[in-house]
Amino acid sequence: MSTVNRVVILGAESSGKSILAEALAAHYQTIWVPEYLREFVEQQQRVPRQEEQILIARTQLQREAELASKAQDWLFCDTGPCMTAIYSRHYFGDAGAELDALDQAHQYDFTIVTAPDFPWMPDGLQRESAAVRQLIHEEVLNVLEDRDIPFLLVEGSKAQRLEQVQFALSFLMM
């Protein structure tokens, strides 16, 4: 049985996480884990309440676990509990003990952060503003640096980001 390397892609709203996850999965001929929050918002026609944030994070992790057995070498995860915790603290002032614990576990082999250098685009209920996007981006960087989690900040076009990640992952394959 081969080991699957889990790669989490973190970033604020409208920063290209999904685009990058899908492109990486195609390039490495594997699969990716879409962001469950997007599905939740579409199904419920609203953003999650504070008490539902843990459901969002748990479901995201459950889908990662389910898809890991189908992945080829790499599993690209479009977000993780870290983003749910950051948004929970931003909107509700607190993530809660259980969500904080999921966030602290951070069981990924590699972490990518998408820079907010794509034009901000409204996306229904899920996105607020370019100003919030910048605040969240700064918080992502602060959290990772405070916790000494190494990460790759990717910038530029989809092709440039893909190239940056390919270069970094080539060192993990050694």
Domain with residue 109: its CATH number is: 3.40.50.300
Q: How many domains does the chain have?
A: 1
Q: Which residues contact 112 (CB under 8 A, 6 or more apart)?
A: 7, 8, 9, 10, 20, 151, 152, 154, 165
- Strand 31-33 and strand 5-10: pairing? unpaired
pLDDT of 174 higher than 70: no
pLDDT in tens, 37-53: 989 999 998 889 999 99
Q: Kind and range of the H or E element at 153?
A: strand 152-154
For the segment 2-18, the average pLDDT, to the nearest whole number, is 91
For the segment 103-109, the average pLDDT, to the nearest whole number, is 89
> Structural domain of residue 120, as residue ranges?
5-172
Q: How far apart are CA 116 and CA 30, in angstroms?
A: 26
pLDDT of 1 higher than 50: no
For the segment 14-22, the average pLDDT, to the nearest whole number, is 93
